[in-house]
Structure 1
Amino acid sequence: MPASPSTARAINDRLALELLQSEGPLTAGQLKTLTGLSRPTVADLVERLQASGLVGVVGETGARRRGPNARVYGIVADRAHLAALDIRTEGVSLVVADLLGEILAEAALPVDRDTGPGPAVERTVAVLERTVREAGATRLHTVGIGVPGLIDPATGELRDATGLPAWHRLLVAELQKRLPARVVLENETNLAAVAEQRAGAARHRDTFVCLWLGHGVGAALFLDGRLRRGASGGAGEIGFLPVPGTGGLPSAHGCDGGFHSLAGSAAICALAEEYGVKAPDAPGPAAAAIVAEAVAAGEDAFLDALARRLALGAAAVASVLDPGCVVLGGEVGLAGGAELAARVESALAELTPLATRVRAGELGGAAVLRGALLTARDAAQEEVFGPAL
């Protein structure tokens, strides 16, 4: 059954907007070529999109030709402004961007462990409001927030969890109350996987696992092109995975004794001390600095021991999901680079018959903020452009 004229117009408009987003500013002729639509149809949709305020003339072609140069059309980027926040135990980093994801302003706020929940929330809100003003945004359309806790897939709310600072929950609730914007919450590891899939080590992969290696450990699952969160939002809580070599078992109240006790930041630092690898005097997470130093110094024994630990978690995931690829994300994954990834792949091959490639993440800790911005942009464009048909 053919689409109605109104449906056909909506489909054509959305296709044109997606092309203008992915390919950059285009002429009407280029839109005609890329869409396969007729010249009159393209002329009509360009006129409609201009009238709606979604598309504007951003320049002219410089080609030498008879008559006037062709107009170049682009999405009106300031039609909506976005913000993304990465909320960590030690502080908050944030960016403000336009509808195309171009960063206009950014800021970071350290939060001391002794800071009370109230002051932590007020300072964060103040920094966000200031950064919005610096970006020249009048109001925010959508805010993407990455948090280390679990997000209830049914409600989109941050679930109760042990180990999170009290100000995390209070901040999320306060932002949702104060901001005249749509607030989208997502687990930090899931956001890192989104960023690695769109702009990092997992480009163009529909199925892979992102193993997050930062202060703690986690995993995000991309299966058949979709991020899988599980029934309660806990898919990928690999820190609780029972593994040999920890001297204990995890419990419902804590992941000590689980994979976290082998691959968390504190565990990596302890392993380095065992092998006589010194922590360098460098800014940033200690475990990442140690791993980077070990790679540079050729500390084979330490790197092999770490790779065997990481392979235990990766093997458990691979044996159940058969993802074909594991990305070592987070600060540690980036620090270890191709050297650590190759060692993990070799160790993993001894534990499972399933062919599984291991790749170093390309975005490190910045992947969470990048993923939060991509998620906010997708949500905003879904509303501003209209749903994909």
Structure 2
Amino acid sequence: MPASPSTARAINDRLALRLLQQEGPLTAGQLKQLTGLSRPTVADLVERLTASGLIAVVGEAGEQRRGPNARLYGIVADRAHLAALDVRTEGVAVVVSDLVGRVLAEASVPIDGATGTGSAVEQAVRLVERVVKEAGADRLHTVGIGAPGLIDPATGELRVSTGLPQWHRRLVAALQERLPEARVSVENETNLAALAEQRDGAARDRDTFVLLWLGHGTGAAVVLDGTLRRGASGGTGEIGFLPVPGTAALPSATDCAGGFHSLAGAAAVAELAGEYGLAAEPADPPAVGLVRAAVTAAGAGAGEREPSARFLDALADRVAVGVASVVAILDPGCVVLGGEIGHAGGTVLADRVQARIARMSPLSTEVRPGLLGGGAVLRGALLTARDRAQDELFAPPER
């Protein structure tokens, strides 16, 4: 059955808006060419979107051209302002952007573990308010938050976890209270990192892949056939709890010590480097600096028996245990080593892990380094906030 005129108009409008988002300002003629719509249809949608305040004339195409056909139309970027938060155990980072994703202001603040819940929440909320003011935004339309831990798939709320600060859960409610007009949502940090790597990073050509997060903690995000999989309880990818050989005990329901985290978390990586006599650069977090220094030494032609090379081999052995488990169950074809440590390891670490997986598994698997590092969480939170805002603002008005 053919679409009704109103439905067809809504489809055409959203198509044009998405093209303007992806391509930047376009003329009506360029919209006609890219959409395949007729000239009158494009003229009508341009008039509708302009009247609704979603697009405006932002310039003209070509130095010599003038007139209606030369007008460049672009999305009205300040129609809505968005915020993204990366909430870590040790602090929070905030970025504020306009509707097209242009960053207007950003900042971060460390939060000491000994800080009380109320004080920690107040620090984080004040940071958001300060960055919003610096961005010149009157209010926020959408706020996306990335946080460690499980997100309840039924409620979208961060679940209670004994391993995380209480202020993480209180922060979402506090932001909603202080920013009553904003749509506030929270997502697992590793899931957001995977979405960012798929849109802007190492997995842009993959509909199916797994991102293995290697940072302060460990985690995994699973994308199958283009869809992020969260699991029945929101726990897909809690690989830190995976029982693995080489640890002193088994993990428990409340503590991942003894699981994969004990092999590949930042503290374990720093301890492993110490066994090879390596020292970290003071400017970096210890594990990140140690991996980066070892990779630099390997790139400078350090022999295979040099401490840096042997450390990278030992680290690859550990990481391969987690990757092999993921590959055996999901067969994703591609695993991205994300997080600060995965990014620092680059292709040197990824190639070592891939070589080990080729020996351990009959399933062909490409191992790639993440391109966005620790910034992937903030980028993913901003992308999801922008998508949510655009879905609402670009939706046809109810009749």
Q: Distance in 2 between matches of 1:331 and 1:196?
A: 13
Paired letter, 2:51? A
Match of 2:158 in 1: 158
Query: Residues of 2 paired with 1:66 and 1:99: CA distance?
Result: 28
Q: Deviation per CA, 1:172-209, whole angstroms, max 9, x where unpaired?
A: 22112221200010000001101111001111310000
Q: Following superposition of structure 1 onto structure 2, how do residues 298-377 of structure 1 map, counting pairs within 5 Å? A: 298=298, 299-377=308-386
- TM-score normalized by structure 2? 0.95
Task: Indicate the SS of the match to 2:129.
Answer: helix
Match of 2:225 in 1: 224
The runs of 5 or more residues in structure 2 that have no matched partner are: 299-307
Q: Which runs of 5+ in 1 are unaligned?
A: none
Question: Equivalents in 2 of 1:98, 1:269: separation in Å?
Answer: 39
Contact persistence 1:266–1:287 (CA under 8 A): yes
- Alignment partner of 1:257 is 2:272: no
Q: Counterparts of 2:331 and 2:27 in 1: how far apart (Å)?
A: 44
Output the CA distance in 2 between the equivalents of 1:292 and 1:345: 19
Q: Quote the sequence identity (%).
A: 73
CA RMSD between the two structures: 1.2
The residue that corresponds to 2:275 in the other structure is 274
Matching of residue 100 in structure 1 with residue 100 in structure 2: yes
Partner-residue secondary structure (3-state), 1:165? coil
Matched, 1:195 2:196: yes
Distance in 2, Cα, partners of 1:65 & 1:365: 45
Mapped partners of 1:37, 1:189: distance in 2: 40
1:206-221 matches, cutoff 5 A: 206-221=207-222
Letter in 2 for 1:321: L
CA contact (8 A) 2:163 2:254 kept: no
**Superposition pairs of residues 76-225 of structure 1, within 5 angstroms:** 76-180=76-180, 181-225=182-226
How far the C-alpha of 1:103 sits from its partner, in A, is 0.6
1:61, distance to aligned residue in structure 2 (A): 1.2
Paired residues of 2:29 and 2:69 also in contact (CA < 8 A)? no
1:295 equivalenced with 2:295 (yes/no): yes
Secondary structure, in 3 states, of the residue corresponding to 1:41? helix
In 1, the alpha carbon distance for the partners of 2:67 and 2:224 equals 52
Residue 119 of structure 1, CA deviation: 1.2
Query: TM (normalized to structure 1)?
Result: 0.97
CA distance in 1, matches of 2:188, 2:73: 36
2-structure distance, mates of 1:105, 1:267 = 35
Separation of aligned partners in 1, 2:166 and 2:372: 28
Q: 8 Å contact 2:142–2:389 — kept in the other structure?
A: yes
In 1: Cα distance, 2:75 partner to 2:281 partner: 47
**Alignment correspondent of 2:48:** 48
Give 2:369's aligned amino acid: A
